[in-house]
């Protein structure tokens, strides 16, 4: 029988219900991580002298064979050819085929509960490293774009409420985007750290094991600081899977917000930005169309992934402690968010690299909508006018200029150059912010663990 249980049952499982409960397809991506987990369990079995060295060697050799089959695709064909419940049962069955006798020892002292929890944490750690790397790559590309626009002195009308607010450097806008993705990377970093603390392997089904498993050896082999402290908590929590899913949702929401602005900037009404032919799409009916579809699709994913994340979190609301099969749904939803979030961020970064800006048009329109009004009010305050009086006086000037069809007596460039506060849009402050952001990205690159994407 392909299943890992059945001795106390007098009839085989209903095929349709077994298929309904199977997570094999979504689990296939976890196969390499399950192998790593199983190698660590072999170390725990051997360290506790539960199996002989010969059996340990046979199991490790069999795991190596399966590793090759996973790469070649042979294992996926094997797993799909039998009604397995999950990837863990499929690997166990294949090991028993490759190493008869020794293979029957692999699951000693182990439940799928602690196996799933550990395998998922290994996957989470890998995906968090990948998310951090993608976020920092986006931020690095933004820094390069910002430095080019800073050197060019490109201005743009900064907006609030989608109304002209104040003139800013385009480099200032770009640096703001870079800050967003640097924060995204730091959120992923937290998950990497937290997913390396407590190793669930050896927790068993709920209460630990009566076998003398060397849990410390397993934890070391998997890159954890120590074994988990409470078996019930270790097998029943999906906190880190939710955390990495949340980090992806947050990063995609950031990308969605930037995409919204770029979609509008690419319209003829704005004409601020252009997406290259390689990254744009056309219309099957309207020959003139150049659509920024990648940014529109990124924008949609912000909502879609947020919904999936809410579903993953919601499945936990009615659960008691320990393991319940509902956690399979939480796992599936988190993995879906991770996979789609990763793809969305990669597409966003690729599309972003294909954007160019119309420097002349942006700079010419930076003062439109009386964006220098606040700076005029600040100038009055600097010579002794109260804030309220300055606001009223400049408001009257705006109304008069609007009636007369003229601009206010201050240029957008001068307004930008006059900024004095830290973190402002003045050229010097933007340059300092870019230096700090670049230094952070370089420091992170130096400390990235081996094997990180």
**Active-site annotation, residues:** 161, 283
CB atoms near residue 153 (< 10 Å): 15
* Residue 139 burial (C-beta neighbours within 10 Å; 0-12, 13-18, 19+): buried
Angle between helices 239-265 and 112-152 (to 10 degrees): 30
User: In Å, how far are 182, 249, 315, 337, 362 from 307, measured between CA atoms?
Assistant: 24, 10, 13, 9, 36
Helix %, strand %, coil % of the chain (to 5): 65, 5, 30
Rounded Cα distance between 171 and 169, Å, is 5
- Centroid of chain to Cα 400: 50
Contact call for residues 44 and 202 (beta carbons, < 8 A): yes
- Cα–Cα distance measured from residue 21 to residue 19, given in angstroms and rounded to the nearest whole number: 5
The dihedral of CA 123, 128, 134, 140: what is its sign? negative
CA 61 to each of CA 35, 72, 115, 141, 342: distance values in angstroms, whole numbers, following the listed order: 11, 17, 20, 44, 33
Paired tokens of 175: 């640096």
Residues near 181 by beta carbon (within 8 Å), at least 6 away in sequence: 135, 136, 138, 139, 142, 251, 254
């Amino acid at each position: 029988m392909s299943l890992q249980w059945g001795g106390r049952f007098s009839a085989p499982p209903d095929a349709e219900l077994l298929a309904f409960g199977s997570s094999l397809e979504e689990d296939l991506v976890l196969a390499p991580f399950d192998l790593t987990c199983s190698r660590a369990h072999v170390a725990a079995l051997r360290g506790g002298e539960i199996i002989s060295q010969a059996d340990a060697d046979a199991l490790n050799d069999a795991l190596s064979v399966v590793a090759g089959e996973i790469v070649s695709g042979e294992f996926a064909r094997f797993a799909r050819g039998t009604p397995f419940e999950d990837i863990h049962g499929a690997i166990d069955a294949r090991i028993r085929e490759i190493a008869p006798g020794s293979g029957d020892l692999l699951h000693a002292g182990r439940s799928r509960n602690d196996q799933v929890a550990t395998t998922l944490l290994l996957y989470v750690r890998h995906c968090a490293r990948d998310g951090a790397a993608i976020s920092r790559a986006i931020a690095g590309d933004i820094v390069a774009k910002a430095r080019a626009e800073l050197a060019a002195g490109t201005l743009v009308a900064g907006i609030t409420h989608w109304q002209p607010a104040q003139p800013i450097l385009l480099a200032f806008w770009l640096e703001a985007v870079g800050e967003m993705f640097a924060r995204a990377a730091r959120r992923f970093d937290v998950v990497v750290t937290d997913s390396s603390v407590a190793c669930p392997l050896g927790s068993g089904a709920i209460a630990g094991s009566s076998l003398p498993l060397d849990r410390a050896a397993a934890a070391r082999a998997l890159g954890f600081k120590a074994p988990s402290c409470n078996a019930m908590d270790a097998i029943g929590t999906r906190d880190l899977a939710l955390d990495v899913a949340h980090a992806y949702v947050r990063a995609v929401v950031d990308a969605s917000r930037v995409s919204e602005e770029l979609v509008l900037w690419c319209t003829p009404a704005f004409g601020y930005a252009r997406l290259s032919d390689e990254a744009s799409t056309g219309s099957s009916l309207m020959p003139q169309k150049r659509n920024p579809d990648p940014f529109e699709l990124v924008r949609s994913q912000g909502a879609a992934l947020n919904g999936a994340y809410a579903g993953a979190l919601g499945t936990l609301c009615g659960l008691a402690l320990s393991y319940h099969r509902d956690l399979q749904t939480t796992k599936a939803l988190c993995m879906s968010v991770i996979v789609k979030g990763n793809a969305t961020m990669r597409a966003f970064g690729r599309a972003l690299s294909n954007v160019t800006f119309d420097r002349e048009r942006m700079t010419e329109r930076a003062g439109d909508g009386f964006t220098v009004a606040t700076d005029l009010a600040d100038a009055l305050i600097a010579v002794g006018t109260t804030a309220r009086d300055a606001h009223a006086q400049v408001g009257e000037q705006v109304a008069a200029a609007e009636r007369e069809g003229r601009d206010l007596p201050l240029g957008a460039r001068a307004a930008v150059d006059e900024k004095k506060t830290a973190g402002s849009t003045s050229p010097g402050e933007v340059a300092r912010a870019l230096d700090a952001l670049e230094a952070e990205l370089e420091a992170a690159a130096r400390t990235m663990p081996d094997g990180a994407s």
